């Protein structure tokens, strides 16, 4: 039985995106995403909390991102969490959690007016090439 593993994040791309290809020819795009949260502290002051996540897109979705992703652009991601584990150079166990994108939406760029239907057409294109279209092998799982 599958367990629930779903996440929705909305934030901004913080750095240049990394594009790679697995040994089997599947394109992989790693997107560094910052997500801000505001809350009031006990004394009533507003506090900003920033969390940083690596989002990975595969296949046609990665190809689509390669054309659209730029530093500072807003992004909404629907996906799942994936934990990778390995032994570090010092022999200690190391763990890393990434977001595997299943759906990506791009927010309009600041100062740029876009035709919403054109942006949605891209979303449909990227969604049609979702993460479900490929099988991940153990070898492909570690592309870092």
Which of the two residues, 113 and 85, has the higher pLDDT score? 85
1 lies in a domain?
Answer: no
How many other CB atoms sit within 10 Å of the CB of residue 113?
7
* Axis crossing angle, helix 59-68 with helix 116-128, rounded to the nearest 10: 150
Task: Count structural domains, the chain.
Answer: 1
Does some domain include residue 70?
yes
In a domain, 139, yes or no: no
> Which pLDDT does position 3 carry in this prediction?
87
Residue 109 in domain = yes
At 76-86, the pLDDT tens digits run 999 999 999 99
- For residue 138, tell me if it sits in a domain: no
pLDDT at 20 over 50: yes
**Angle CA 83–79–107, to nearest 5:** 130
pLDDT for res 107: 86
Mean pLDDT of 94-107: 94
Q: Give the domain extent around 52.
A: 7-132
The residue assigned the tokens 């049609």 is 128
What is the value of pTM for the model shown?
A: 0.71
Tell me whether residue 137 is in a domain.
Answer: no
CA distance 66 to 58: 11
Question: Which of helix, strand or coil describes residue 15?
Answer: coil
The mean pLDDT of 7-36, rounded to a whole number, is 93
- CATH number of the CATH domain containing 105: 2.40.50.140
| Range with the poorest average pLDDT among 91-95, 98-102, 131-135 | 131-135
In a domain, 144, yes or no: no
pLDDT in tens, 34-92: 999 999 999 999 999 999 999 999 999 999 888 888 898 999 999 999 999 999 999 99
């Amino acid at each position: 039985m599958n367990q629930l593993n779903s996440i929705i994040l909305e934030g901004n791309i913080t750095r240049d995106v990394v594009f790679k290809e697995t040994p089997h020819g599947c394109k992989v795009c790693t997107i560094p995403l910052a997500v801000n949260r505001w809350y009031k502290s006990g004394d009533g002051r507003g506090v900003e909390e920033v969390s940083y996540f690596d989002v990975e897109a595969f296949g046609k979705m990665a190809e689509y991102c390669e054309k659209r992703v730029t530093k500072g652009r807003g992004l909404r991601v629907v996906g799942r969490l994936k934990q990778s584990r390995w032994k570090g150079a010092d022999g200690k166990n190391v763990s890393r959690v990434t977001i595997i994108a299943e759906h990506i939406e791009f927010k309009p760029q600041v100062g740029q007016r876009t035709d919403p239907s054109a942006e949605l057409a891209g979303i449909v294109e990227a969604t049609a090439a979702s993460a479900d279209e490929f099988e991940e092998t153990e070898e492909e799982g570690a592309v870092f």
